Structure 1
Amino acid sequence: MKLIYSIHKYDVTMFTWVNVVAIRASLMPVCRGISRTADGLLYLLAAGWLYWDRGGQDGLLQAMVLAFLIERPVYFALKKGFKRNRPQQALSNFQSAIKPADQFSFPSGHTSAAFMVATLFGYCLPQLATALYCWAAAVGFSRVVLGVHFPTDTLMGMFLGVGTAFFSLNYVLS
């Protein structure tokens, strides 16, 4: 229990530092845009492009579908299991910049999906891997700046996304 309290205390400290009014206000428009890139439409477009360009038997498309079929149920189970309040509910006198889609914050689904897609496409297009991981990290950071996640929510999202992507790639391509 002491470990959980220490992690939460660190999380609140980091969250508060990131959300200093001056920093938050200057980053808000950019963070809104970055966050929107991970709302889901991009993933549907990527899957559609893979199907159109490479056909339904493409390993990357199959790995992407499998990864989402694994990641989404795990994500929802963690949300329901941990029931961690979002910063707006957990911290007095704090208002998030956007309205989250659901009640709980752990893990970050936007971050999870972004890192999953970055890992899948980075594996098949290694020349884009650095840019893809920078984008995924920016998605996670934007979710903290927007006030809908604590840093550890996005950290767990990263682990979940990368883990399901590697599992799916290994399963499909082996």
Structure 2
Amino acid sequence: MDPPKPPPANKSAAGRSLIGYLISMDTTLSYKLHSLTQPFFPSFLFLILELSADFRLFFPISLSLLLSPTLLRPFLPPLILGLLLDLLVLCVIKLTFRRSRPLYNHTHSMNVAVPADHFSFPSGHASRVCFVASLAHLSAATIRQAMAPEDEGKALNFVLLAVWVWAVVTSVSRVLLGRHFVSDVFFGACVGVLEALFAFHFLRF
């Protein structure tokens, strides 16, 4: 008599186990990064970065750029429409996954812009800053053409570098401040880059 065959592997259970393992690693890594940097980085610096990328501050500032010199005009329609798109996309994703923020997040110091901001995945700040930095990078050639020839784009290169530094530091600070997990920031940054590509190719007027 043949020995009984082993039961077929439960692919669904294996998938859940892998996802659980990745989430556990993400949670552990995020907490270690947060706890290790607390003695060295004052929280108020991270809060300033948080404020600098807050939609309620950043969007009105972007609208005010409509009064800026002509050289920024090609950059403004995709920027403003892209910020609105980012808000919509992030709300949909957050409300779909509904991932709770880290337990060590100090909610008393956090003001949410929309109800979806109570959820963690993905990071809206990381998405927003990476969208702005990516769009600025993609629009650099257009803006450079409108600048004075003698400038040779040196000022623009400096601004682009500053914007990318701001985007990277702000994104990293979301984990160090305890607002998000590492995966929240990573996927938020990816969303921002994809939105910038979409805005650059389809939202320019």
TM normalised by structure 2 equals 0.72
In structure 1, give the amino acid aligned to 2:166: W
Unaligned runs of 5+ in 1: 89-93
Q: 1:17-32 residue pairs with structure 2 within 5 A?
A: 17-20=32-35, 23-27=37-41, 28-32=43-47
Residue type at the aligned position of 2:193: V
Q: Distance in 2 between matches of 1:45 and 1:66?
A: 14
- 1:150 equivalent among 171, 181, 192: 181
Matched, 1:11 2:26: yes
Report the Cα distance in structure 2 between the residues aligned to 1:172 and 1:37, rounded to whole angstroms: 24
Matched, 1:48 2:64: yes
Matches within 5 A, 1:132-151: 132-151=163-182
Q: 1:84 to 1:100 in 2, by over 3 A?
A: farther
Structure 1 residue 34 displacement after superposition: 1.5
Report the equivalent of 1:2: 17
Is the 1:100–1:148 contact (alpha carbons within 8 Å) kept by the matching residues of 2? no
Identity of aligned residues (%): 27
SS at match of 2:106: coil
Larger Rg: 2
Q: Which runs of 4+ in 1 moved over 3 A?
A: none
Corresponding residue for residue 203 of structure 2: 172
Written as runs of structure 1 = structure 2, the 5 A alignment for 1:77-92 is 77-88=92-103
Deviation at 1:54, TM superposition (A): 4.2
Given candidates 75, 81, 85, the residue that maps to 1:70 is 85
Counterpart of 1:99, as a letter, is M
Q: Which amino acid aligns with 2:127?
A: S
C-alpha contact (below 8 Å) 1:118/1:132 kept by paired residues: yes
What RMSD in Å do the two structures reach over aligned CA positions?
2.2
How much has 1:12 moved relative to structure 2?
Answer: 1.2
Residue 124 of structure 1 is matched in structure 2 by 139
Q: 1:15: Cα distance to partner?
A: 0.9
Offset at 1:114? 0.9
CA apart distance, 1:95: 4.6
Render the CA deviation track for 1:124-171: whole Å, top value 9, x for unaligned: 346133321221111111111221110111111101111111111011
Describe the shift of the 1:3–1:59 C-alpha distance in structure 2 as closer, same or farther (beyond 3 A): farther
Deviation at 1:69, TM superposition (A): 2.9
TM-score by length of 1: 0.84
Unaligned runs of 5+ in 2: 1-15, 141-155
Alpha carbons 1:85, 1:105 under 8 Å: kept:
yes
Greater CA drift, 78-87 or 31-40: 31-40
Report if the CA contact (8 A) 1:85-1:104 is conserved. yes
